[in-house]
Structure 1
Amino acid sequence: MTTTVAFLGPAGTFTEDALLKLAMTGVYGSGEVTPLPVASPAAALDAVRDGSADFACVAIENSVDGPVTPTFDALTSAPGVQIYREVDLDIAFSIMVRPGTRAADVRTLSTHPVGYQQVKSWAEENIPQAGYVSASSNAAAAEAVAAGEVDAAAAPHRAAEIFGLETIATNIADFDGARTRFVAVGPRGVPTQRTGNDRTSVVFTLPHEPGTLVGALTEFAHRGVDLTRIESRPTRRVFGTYKFHVDLLGHIEDLPLAEALRALWLRTDHLEFLGSWPAATGDGGEDRLATDLARLEQASQWVNNAREGKDNQ
């Protein structure tokens, strides 16, 4: 059985690399994986919604430029999709040109806007004469170099091999240890099985009243549920109204998190579950969770003892 996975193309992007690494986790199933290059994260997610792809692989956050807002917007632009897995990639670029081109000849440098933030200092120091040209993806920039539309591209090294280019610099990253997180997104379904080191994501809107956001976040704080990220994005319906995207440590099967989400639902105008899945790194709250669950069991026992008239000393 073949599984089609949409990704930001063309071939040679970091997203394609992430797609292949996610395939090794088994998230797409056990059959053959067919990559489907598309022009944007929104197009990748729409391919899942309309059935032309079984999954999508999209970038969601990077350590240099923060959240990938087109992905956040696309995740909630229409219902029907859910996150099932994540992978973190180290990000470093090669600078590639047409054969015979020297650094001094470069007048235009192209890459994705997120990628540009990770090579900007290098470019200013080494090819200061080059103007920046935005590309839909890093590999699309390499493709544009091959077509003669720009002089150089910052892209994954593999893109040079794909498009027949030469590299004039490798392992370029203005920030050491730069990483990007990618997620596998599929149709709405049962969340990935709990591992004890998990991440959960939801998005919600609130009544436009004083204190509603503080009250919503208090539901997590009271239950010891950690937030790793909160972002606001315009609803695009009424000026000054926002969708709040929240990443939480834990799984929806964890009682504290489930209770927090139940209480949150009562406070929101709309609450959407985007998935629970294994965290790529050891920051999913696994050590604290065992303690929290033990404390909850003790608290439940205290209540039962009180109900039954037993000593709670």
Structure 2
Amino acid sequence: MTEAVPATPEETYSYLGPAGTFTEAALKQVPEAAGSHWRSVNNVGEALSDVSTGRSTAAMIAIENSIEGGVSATQDALATVPGLRIIGEYVVPVNFVLVARPGTTLGEVRLINAHPVAYAQSRGWLEQHLPDHGHIPAASNVQAAASLFDGSQADAAVAPPGITDHLDVDVLAHDIGDNPNAVTRFVLVSRSRALPEPTGADKTSLIVELPNDEPGALLAMLEQFSTRGVNLSLLESRPIGDALGRYRFVVDLDGHVSDERVADALLGLRRTSPKVIFLGSYPRADQRAIEYHSKFDDEIFIEARDWLRGLVSGEPDTD
């Protein structure tokens, strides 16, 4: 989806292209992006560079897959590119079709183009129906199909179901994904410092480094959440890269930073970790309200602070 006239940065959204990718499908879920200029890029680094330099107002990037887990390229980029914030998340169902040049039959397929993630998620079907096939990695799901017309030696490609809207290909097989419930989670990233208002169904994303490599260091980090009733929906380690055994942790937690229990957990992290990167608080894609024990209600934290303030100021006891 492109426009002939270049747009201003405020009107531009970057996404992993070309047209027809799952990333584009995620961007279609953003009401603010409708009618804007959509800039197709080649990788996550380029998308985030667009945002950090002001070329685009926001970028849609994949961050987690229900089968493969976290997207390491995205996690590493968010840890190293300063000034970025996640302002929304979007979930796209993931399935695939096997496509080929017009006239090709399934029995003629020997070599298949596929993005490595797409290949991993359809490998069971491919091995069952095409046990002797070979695999050529592609940069994206759409590029895998497009390469069939660019001199590729591949006979077929694993592609998104909507690929026929963009390329003249024959679909040799539908629904070849091994898991019909597979989804990919995308996040919209911008430079905006304004936090989305809390909805009661929110998520907060962080990147946290441990203070040192010693017994109990990870447990100490996790206790900042558990003692405040904060549930973690994602916890993954990524190497920092400066030495063996040095890791940072990518964390998604239930709640908004304006929630007292979440804010108190972040204060604890700040006291105990040498580096905490706040990536944002934003509405959950599934809109599921966060559940937690009433002993972690905001009023409990507020009352505790008022009690301590009274002790310090010498106010008379009211209990």
Q: TM-score, normalised by structure 2?
A: 0.89
1:147 and 2:154 are equivalent in the alignment:
no
Between the aligned partners of 1:297 and 1:49, the Cα distance in structure 2 is 37
Structure 2 unaligned regions, length at least 5: 1-7
1:260 and 2:238 are equivalent in the alignment:
no
Indicate the RMSD between aligned Cα atoms, in angstroms.
2.2
Between the aligned partners of 1:114 and 1:162, the Cα distance in structure 2 is 21
Q: CA deviation at 1:291?
A: 6.2
> Aligned ranges for residues 196-235 of structure 1 at < 5 Å?
196-210=200-214, 211-235=216-240
Q: Which residue of 2 aligns with 1:179?
A: 183
* Alpha-carbon distance change, 262 to 304 in structure 1, aligned in 2, over 3 angstroms: closer
> Aligned ranges for residues 13-162 of structure 1 at < 5 Å?
13-21=21-29, 23-24=30-31, 26=32, 28=33, 32-149=35-152, 150-162=154-166
Structure 1 unaligned regions, length at least 5: none
Aligned partner letter, 1:9? G
- The answer as to whether partners of 1:142 and 1:160 remain within 8 angstroms in 2 is no
1:309 and 2:312 are equivalent in the alignment:
no
Q: Which residue of 2 aligns with 1:245?
A: 250
What SS does the corresponding residue of 1:115 show, helix, strand or coil? helix
- The answer as to whether partners of 2:260 and 2:297 remain within 8 angstroms in 1 is no
Q: CA deviation at 1:212?
A: 2.4
Between the aligned partners of 1:153 and 1:298, the Cα distance in structure 2 is 61
- The answer as to whether partners of 1:6 and 1:53 remain within 8 angstroms in 2 is yes
1:190 and 2:194 are equivalent in the alignment:
yes
* Alpha-carbon distance change, 203 to 289 in structure 1, aligned in 2, over 3 angstroms: farther
Q: CA deviation at 1:260?
A: 0.9
Q: Which residue of 1 aligns with 2:3?
A: none
Identity of aligned residues (%): 36
Deviates more, 1:35-44 or 1:56-65: 35-44
Moved over 3 A (4+): 286-291, 294-311
Between the aligned partners of 1:289 and 1:183, the Cα distance in structure 2 is 30
Select 1:278's aligned residue among 268, 276, 283: 283
- The answer as to whether partners of 1:197 and 1:286 remain within 8 angstroms in 2 is no
Q: CA deviation at 1:311?
A: 4.7
Q: TM-score, normalised by structure 1?
A: 0.91
Between the aligned partners of 1:240 and 1:14, the Cα distance in structure 2 is 35
- The answer as to whether partners of 2:52 and 2:191 remain within 8 angstroms in 1 is yes
Between the aligned partners of 1:130 and 1:39, the Cα distance in structure 2 is 27
- The answer as to whether partners of 1:196 and 1:286 remain within 8 angstroms in 2 is no
Q: CA deviation at 1:116?
A: 1.2
